[in-house]
Amino acid sequence: MSKPKYRGDARLKARAKRPGTVSFRADERSYVIVARTVQTHLTHEERLRKSDSVVVLKMSATAETRSVLQPEGRQIAQACHATALMMGELTQSFSQQALKANRPWPHIGPLTRIVLSARDSFELEHVWALLKAAKVAVFEFEDTNEDAYGAGVAIRTAIATGPVTSAKVAGLIDYLPLWAPASLGPCV
């Protein structure tokens, strides 16, 4: 089976155990990272240099910047949105491949997801940049909740990786704690 191409030239690996089924390797998982606090009205400067795979990201506060502590329910909803976006894009890609090759519509097999917590928008963006530089497929969810962030504001609240091994993200996200409700404290 050919490898599908995703944003930033990251490639996701999958194999068919039986016709029409896309299965991931046992050591592959998706990491979902959600921000506990988000900052509104930030300026962004992003540059991706493909030749050396370096992502340069500069975020700056403005006079309108404010911090919004995300309620626990909203945090986990954001993580679910990022996961759904990733799975939707995977399904669409594999389905298009199946149509082109005149194969049966694929069934996507199980994929372990691990939800991690970022302190704020700055840490979430930092991790996003590290993952992009490492050519890991990253799917971003931006929330537009007017009551929380203001009118016309879209805030990146969560990201999800495509299927990836823990070795591929070692040193990039392994310092982030597992997500847990704040009332329980950090998971160990």
- Give 146-157 pLDDT, tens digit per residue: 898 888 888 899
Residue 39: per-residue pLDDT: 87
Q: Could you tell me if residue 152 is inside a domain?
A: yes
**137 or 21, greater pLDDT:** 137
How many domains in the chain? 1
Q: Could you tell me if residue 185 is inside a domain?
A: no
Q: Could you tell me if residue 18 is inside a domain?
A: no
Residue 139: per-residue pLDDT: 94
Where residue 3 falls among pLDDT bands split at 50, 70, 90?
very low
Q: Could you tell me if residue 21 is inside a domain?
A: no
**60 or 118, greater pLDDT:** 118
Calpha distance 116→174 (Å, rounded): 9
Q: DSSP for 5-33, please give it.
A: B-GGG-B---B-SSTTEEB--TTEEEEEE
Is the pLDDT at 50 greater than 70? The verdict is: no
Q: Could you tell me if residue 20 is inside a domain?
A: no
Reference 138, options 127, 153, 146; nearest CA is: 127
Q: Could you tell me if residue 75 is inside a domain?
A: yes
How, if at all, do strands 155-161 and 28-35 pair?
Answer: antiparallel
Is the pLDDT at 12 greater than 50? The verdict is: no
Task: Give the CATH number, domain containing residue 53.
Answer: 3.40.1490
Where residue 9 falls among pLDDT bands split at 50, 70, 90?
very low
- The pTM for the full model equals 0.79
Could you list the residue range(s) of the whole structural domain that residue 146 is in? 34-177
- Nearest-10 Cα torsion for 44, 50, 52, 56: 0
Calpha distance 110→56 (Å, rounded): 34
Residue 106: per-residue pLDDT: 67
Q: Could you tell me if residue 163 is inside a domain?
A: yes
Q: Could you tell me if residue 150 is inside a domain?
A: yes
Where residue 7 falls among pLDDT bands split at 50, 70, 90?
very low
Structure letter (DSSP) for residue 136: -
